[in-house]
Structure 1
């Protein structure tokens, strides 16, 4: 097992380094951000009081446990640290189990004395080490910031517990599904569902009399994110909720071992869906084939866009009372919407989320081209009358359609939300401008991922998702944590047009976003002419 563990550590050294350092950096930004934006106890108390009055905000933040500086910092950042740990763990689990079977490497190892159990055991140890290192570094960040020692260790434990829980989710998903794509999709949907459950549980909780603490509702106790938040670092410093996550992860891992022992190599418990007897005519074109392969995921992203747009206009009216009470919060909203007021700022923030969803839809579609290449299914297509440029062009067209559908879903949701608001027409103007701008920003990620696919095929999946993650962190947390303007401006999500208070449109960085997207897309198609297939993973 030692050899397999060393192989996994060597293979993942770059990916894990990016995941861990990125998460630790995000944890560190919360310290300075809270100190600068909410340095006064009265401001922090007012923020929490506003949250209690509008508990739906808790769906996007953590669980309030007090108005202390460290407590507010963890209220703002802990769910996102846990989410990054969960993503890291699920992808790691699937990559070293189901993906290995798809590519034929697991069969070679199972023919040796290592058999089928040792690789799974090595993956478990690998995932555990990654989460332990992540939790330890996060704790050291907060210890070095002068936060209380007990709470700092609890933060690291809570983050690692979610990662370990989803390590088990990823391992079991890899046993149930027949493809790595199916396993990753199942694990991600479970992650999103449990994150939403924790948010709803917090929103349905009971606030304290002084409006600085919220007791979770029962729904949060069904989610690993809810367990992590109920450790309440720097307040209760409870260990046992984190142990729930670790225990569930261990149970799921044991079930994964049991399932592996009863299934055939290369097969899954969930049966493969049979295709139609006769193929539709649309499959005779590259675009039709790509759409057939990706339509399920595109629909999922579009539904996410619809819900985001609905919340954008439904909650915009809530922020008026925030601005009248808390100057720091007003500055944050206005830093994202420098021309408009607080309601406009709320719409812009939600449409940054919609832009991230559109970018994810595009990146996932382009990454599918790399998966088809690795699995060998691209070669038969290219052996026909379809050339390389036309083949890649099909993925770019469908990826662009995914962006359009996601943003269109957001605008449809905003229309429904604005119908119940007195300022609905103004909110929709903001939504349309922000939505179109975020669509352009998403196309930047689409084109750059396609260019990476052509130039450095093996880096496609990692580079595409890392770029979106970095753009999200800078775009969403830059203003919150008072990062320099030049750094926040590097994110395409923050350079989209906005509607000014006098009705004029501030184009901001729309021209360089458009130019980047077009140039990268054209370059990827041009360079694809001479690119050979790279089926090796």
Structure 2
């Protein structure tokens, strides 16, 4: 136990800043949610109107929680809980991989194994470390709800649900670290399972059954295949169900047990999924550093493209869900009619989905540039730069491939939107007039998607050059600060209006000011300052890269 305490103390000194940022931003979102709801949706009538609109357009449930009544606290949970849970999940997953496969790659685990601590002490320390981080997060989230005036039982249930979702992905991260040979592969596997289960939970909610008064939604069976869905179905401040929490705890136990079992049968440095052997000699296409970066980045880029394709397809194809639910519930049909009179709701939904596509593209860009930092820290960059390759040319290879990843991800989203639009038009071919109207509507949605695609390419490129700039100025901050910029921008863009943030501050998010289609015209919005940021950031990166030396891991 004393040995675990020693390693745990070292981990806490190493991770205190990252954990403070993750936990602090999550708790701040929970605390600020009450003030935002009180200001924007202060009356029960306001909240009922929003929930009715959600039932009429359940696509919104892909980005929000499970509606559970008009109580102000339950409404806050509906708006914010999925994002509290996903931040806990990311924190836990990265922590697990960093201190298992990451430390193994860096040689730290081998050094500890050679001491009386043995092989299992670092693993035990990782479990204790991740569990404590989630407990602290859960307690502070509950305290934030209590400080906002929420009921005690519901507050503690929200905090507990947030923490146990984090524990599930702590276990998943530890399992992925046993399966994959590199920390990059383990993180990729964990993140894709995380994103997939988050989306599955949202789709399951969107396909659920609304109540007659349009204030509650019963999840479909699909939601129950996701840890996020289990946590949402605790229905804090409504039914206050504790038993779904046990499902998350059981999943954590099973995943952790599987990770420990696999660790006991593999050698240090090896993995369950064998690493594919490389060719004896490189192809001619790998003769340049840019080609090498492209080859290394191809698997992750393909993954982001798949995410973009699915996001784009959902943006235009889920309109049929709205029509179906409206036909089954007359109250929803009335809401649909009133919404149609107020503006083009479907076009707005496309913009929201393509904001998420822009987020995926920005993640692809940050991951590509972060790979430059990983190559530098692992010493492989030094081998490349010992050749006639100039350091600026080497960096521009990562930036160029990052931009290609942005374009491919957003293009995949546009292709998905076109496929979804074709499906939407083809679903109404029963009558000539109806089919023509559906076809015109689908074409309009695809046009909105095309404009949003161009806008999100520009927005994502901002994060590409900013991450490159951080890499040249403060290389050790490349990975944490690059991802923090993306998280901050999406929080401002999606939650700024809800939290009562001023419009000028919200507009600092590139996602919030990317060009989009407004009716029949293109609103350029913040295009020019985005382009200016890209030009200045790119030029500064080149200048600073020419002047700095390689930085070791730290």
Question: TM-score if structure 1 supplies the norm length?
Answer: 0.93
2:508 to 485, 490, 514: 490
**Cα deviations across residues 445-488 of structure 1 (Å, max 9, x unaligned)?**
00010111111111111011110000001001112343211110
Q: Report the equivalent of 2:490.
A: 472
The answer as to whether partners of 1:47 and 1:326 remain within 8 angstroms in 2 is no
The answer as to whether partners of 1:444 and 1:513 remain within 8 angstroms in 2 is yes
1:254 to 253, 257, 265: 257
Q: Bigger shift: 62-71 or 105-114?
A: 62-71
The answer as to whether partners of 2:176 and 2:190 remain within 8 angstroms in 1 is yes
The answer as to whether partners of 1:437 and 1:497 remain within 8 angstroms in 2 is yes
Deviation at 1:284, TM superposition (A): 0.6
| Aligned mates of 1:201, 1:484 — CA distance in 2 | 34
Q: After superposition, where does 1:375-454 map in structure 2 within 5 Å? A: 375-419=378-422, 420=425, 421=438, 422-454=440-472
Q: Report the equivalent of 2:313.
A: 310
Q: Helix, strand or coil: the match of 1:274? A: coil
- Whether 1:507 aligns to 2:524 is yes
- Stretches of 4+ moved more than 6 A in 1? none
Q: Helix, strand or coil: the match of 2:140? A: helix
Deviation at 1:29, TM superposition (A): 2.8
Deviation at 1:60, TM superposition (A): 2.5
Q: Report the equivalent of 1:122.
A: 125
Q: Report the equivalent of 1:158.
A: 161
Unmatched runs of 5 consecutive residues or more in structure 2 = 324-332, 426-437
How many residues matched? 526
The answer as to whether partners of 1:175 and 1:269 remain within 8 angstroms in 2 is yes
Q: Helix, strand or coil: the match of 2:241? A: coil
Q: After superposition, where does 1:293-304 map in structure 2 within 5 Å? A: 293-304=296-307
Q: Helix, strand or coil: the match of 2:70? A: coil
Q: Report the equivalent of 2:473.
A: 455
| Aligned mates of 1:321, 1:391 — CA distance in 2 | 59
Question: TM-score if structure 2 supplies the norm length?
Answer: 0.90
The answer as to whether partners of 1:316 and 1:344 remain within 8 angstroms in 2 is no
Q: Structure 1 residues 43, 173: closer, same or farther in 2, change over 3 A? A: same
Q: Structure 1 residues 315, 477: closer, same or farther in 2, change over 3 A? A: farther
The answer as to whether partners of 2:234 and 2:245 remain within 8 angstroms in 1 is yes
Deviation at 1:341, TM superposition (A): 4.8
The answer as to whether partners of 1:102 and 1:375 remain within 8 angstroms in 2 is no
**Cα deviations across residues 56-88 of structure 1 (Å, max 9, x unaligned)?**
433332112212221121112111111110000
Q: Report the equivalent of 1:228.
A: 231
Q: Report the equivalent of 2:293.
A: 290
| Aligned mates of 2:209, 2:335 — CA distance in 1 | 21
| Aligned mates of 1:323, 1:8 — CA distance in 2 | 53
RMSD of Structure 2 on Structure 1 (CA): 2.3
Q: Helix, strand or coil: the match of 2:449? A: helix
